[in-house]
Amino acid sequence: DIKPLGRTLDDAAGEAFDKVARLLNLGFPGGPLIDRDAKDGRGDAINFPRGLNQAKDMAEHRFDFSFSGLKTAVSRYLAANPSYNRSDVSASFQEAVVDVLLDKA
């Protein structure tokens, strides 16, 4: 028998990469394009949210993932900052996703 330990509650990590890459006009697939762009940016430039990694979330969703809020935060950041540094957005987004994955490991 296989017992799932966790699941994605909305957007999976790869789906979030694809959607954010589209917001940044990078193309498809988003993962390698954001990774390449992030190399010229700073991961600490923008403090994007880390979904389901607070103590209150860990009790019920220890191994679950949620990236919809992060994707929305990127979209709102881009709308509010029209002269954004794309590489900083890529690096900060990528760091947020990796932080969540590492917290759940």
Helix (H) or strand (E) holding 77: helix 68-80
Is the pTM here over 0.95, yes or no? no
The answer to whether residues 15 and 64 touch, using CB atoms and an 8 Å cutoff, is no
| Residue 8 DSSP SS3 | strand
State the greatest distance between any 2 C-alpha atoms of the chain, in Å, as a whole number.
Answer: 52
Give pLDDT tens digits for 46-94: 999 998 877 787 778 889 999 999 999 999 999 999 999 999 999 999 9
| Residue 82 DSSP SS3 | coil
Q: Which fold has domain 13-104?
A: Nucleotidyltransferase; domain 5 (3.30.420)
pLDDT over 90 (residue 98) = yes
Look at residue 40 in the predicted model and tell me its pLDDT.
98
